Amino acid sequence: MEKKYPPLEITAPIVFAFIFVLIMIFSRLEPHVEDVDAAYVKAHTGKAGYVLVDARPLESFLGKSPRPGFPGGHIPGAVNFPPEDLSSRPHIVSALLAKEGITDDKTVIIYCNTGVLSGRLADQLVRRFNFSSSKIKNYRGGTVEWAKDPKNILLPPDHETGFVTDQDSQRFKGK
């Protein structure tokens, strides 16, 4: 005797609905890292219990522009810790993090150029090193947004701006 199955028109929507519900349930269980803005960074940098982390390569942190339109240098008060530094064994990385003041008892504000590398570092701190997602903040605007406000400085003072010409600089600042 041959088994009869319900038609695909009936089973497919049920299967898709079931998968959708599972995705919704599991996405709520994922740790959520809060995105913050420049005002948050300014208000909390240098305060006890906070650490500002630049997730870009050391060359960019020290002032080299990573590419046209992206400034080199770092926000004053930041420490440098690129996501690649997480590739060692966990106990070695934990010691490196602690050396830079990046510990799970502090609120960690992470930035890069535009939020991609900082998001990667934030994710790894939560998943691999058990930092509380509520204590990790991602400044998605990064150095690109930071540099748009002439009141904000990047260090060192002679950092590369990332502008090819003065005209690019004027257009970037909206003048």
pLDDT tens for the chain, 175 residues long, are 677 777 778 777 888 888 878 776 665 555 689 999 999 999 999 999 999 999 999 999 999 999 998 999 999 999 999 988 888 788 899 999 999 999 999 999 999 999 999 999 999 999 889 999 999 999 999 999 999 999 999 999 999 988 765 544 444 444 3
Model-level pTM?
A: 0.77
Cis peptide before 7 (omega within 30 of 0): no
Q: CA-based Rg of the chain, rounded to a whole angstrom?
A: 22
**The residue to which tokens 């701006």 are assigned:** 161
**The residue to which tokens 């080199």 are assigned:** 72
3-state secondary structure (DSSP) of residue 69: coil
3-state secondary structure (DSSP) of residue 14: helix
